[in-house]
């Protein structure tokens, strides 16, 4: 293998021990979609086929939304405007099979739902929406919560945690762990609480797992992360996280991360535990399910976290998808790949809580693509 052991590989990925003097050869011209998908985490399940809809969504995001995010000023006014636009999604038709109930969980606003036709389950899913800590909310992510409720049978509790400009990441983390702790107290099946989230919500998902251990709380039964943010500096390439393909994120502008980070971590704010969940793997023991996109900015750290957890014996299931956009499972009404990703996640969650009463779903077009020997020059 190209490292001596799983432990050494995982440690080097996050800079815990020095890399050998001879670097892995890399060809900077490597692009997504050329040849078999290369992986760092050898047990990752690779989904190389993609639908016409997925290609259209990816191109639209790249041509329309990425430029908007690239040039929109990052100030209180623009953040407030984005949040106001997000709330328009509340006008979308709701499923007639869902009756959302809004209440306070430990003082944090949440919305709970069950699906009339979901399977029997004692599970609860605590869902943390994405949006970079400055956009989206319960309204924008209601559909993915509805789908999770249908596919798992769980009661899905969506958390309206504080965001910019009202608070920093530290405040978001505080709301997330507060809601989780309150849910543990209220639940009659505390051993069947699954925590899930996309993007920034994936960050909060992993923080809940870390802080539950630090505080002596019961750990989540499972973690579901859809393109999770695993550090506050995913734009940096000097952290010894292995990158085997050039990042060409469909709509996340890498150059804006440094600017938004100033708002994420204002002077005087302090995040409980590690600022970056990638450094907290020693505190995470819950079975973990990851989804990432082949060339998205956050993929390298997802694979790094998968390695770190696996070498500690934590159950990890990682799925890598081609020609999708960041956090694509949120688009459950649009993409067939989103439906498949959510079904795979639902099966993982039901298995983790002992409720999967049938064979797990398998994507017939998926496979494992393992690296053997040195990383070839064509796999930058």
Which residues is 226 bridged to in the sheet? 198, 291
Q: How far apart are CA 368 and CA 337, in angstroms?
A: 17
Contact 204, 224 (CB under 8 A): no
Which residues is 112 bridged to in the sheet? 101, 157
Burial 158-187 (b: 16+ CB within 10 A, else e): bbbbbbbeebbbbbbbbbbbbbbbbbbeeb
Return the DSSP state at 338: H
How many Cβ atoms from other residues are within 10 Å of residue 69's Cβ?
17
Q: Is the link from the previous residue into 165 a cis peptide, with omega within 30 of 0?
A: yes
Strands (E), the chain: 45-47, 101-105, 108-113, 124-128, 155-159, 193-198, 222-226, 288-293, 316-321, 366-368
Return the DSSP state at 321: E
Active site residue 199: yes
Pairing of strands 316-321, 288-293: parallel
> Exactly one of 158, 174, 199, 338 is catalytic; which is it?
199
Q: Which residues are catalytic?
A: 199
């Amino acid at each position: 293998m190209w490292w001596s052991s799983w432990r050494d590989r995982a440690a080097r990925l996050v800079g815990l021990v020095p890399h050998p003097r001879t670097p892995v050869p890399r060809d900077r011209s490597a692009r997504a979609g050329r040849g078999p998908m290369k992986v760092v985490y050898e047990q990752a399940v690779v989904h190389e086929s993609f639908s016409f809809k997925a290609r259209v969504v990816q191109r639209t995001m790249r041509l329309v939304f990425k430029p908007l995010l690239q040039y929109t000023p990052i100030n209180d006014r623009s953040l407030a405007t984005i949040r106001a636009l997000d709330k328009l999604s509340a006008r979308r038709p709701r499923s007639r099979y869902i009756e959302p109930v809004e209440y306070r969980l430990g003082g944090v606003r949440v919305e709970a739902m069950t699906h009339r036709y979901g399977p029997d389950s004692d599970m609860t899913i605590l869902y943390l929406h994405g949006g970079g800590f400055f956009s989206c909310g319960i309204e924008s992510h209601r559909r993915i919560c509805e789908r999770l409720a249908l596919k798992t049978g769980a009661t899905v509790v969506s958390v309206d945690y504080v965001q910019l400009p009202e608070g920093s990441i530290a405040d978001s983390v505080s709301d997330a762990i507060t809601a989780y702790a309150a849910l543990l107290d209220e639940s009659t099946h505390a051993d069947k609480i699954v925590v899930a989230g996309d993007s920034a919500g994936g960050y909060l998902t992993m923080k809940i797992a870390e802080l539950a251990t630090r505080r002596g709380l019961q750990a989540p039964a499972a973690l579901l992360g859809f393109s999770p943010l695993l550090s506050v500096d995913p734009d940096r390439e000097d952290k010894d996280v292995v990158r085997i393909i050039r990042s060409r994120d469909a709509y996340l502008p890498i150059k804006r991360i440094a600017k938004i980070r100033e708002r994420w971590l204002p002077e005087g704010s302090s995040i409980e535990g590690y600022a970056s969940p990638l450094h907290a793997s020693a505190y995470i023991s819950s079975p973990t399910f990851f989804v990432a996109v082949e060339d998205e900015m956050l993929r390298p750290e997802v694979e790094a976290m998968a390695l770190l957890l696996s070498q500690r014996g934590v159950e990890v299931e990682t799925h890598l998808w081609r020609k999708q956009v960041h956090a694509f499972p949120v688009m459950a009404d649009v993409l067939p790949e989103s439906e498949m990703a959510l079904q795979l996640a639902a099966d993982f969650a039901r298995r983790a809580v002992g409720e999967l009463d049938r064979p797990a779903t398998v994507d017939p077009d998926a496979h494992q693509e393992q690296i053997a020997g040195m990383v070839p020059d064509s796999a930058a």
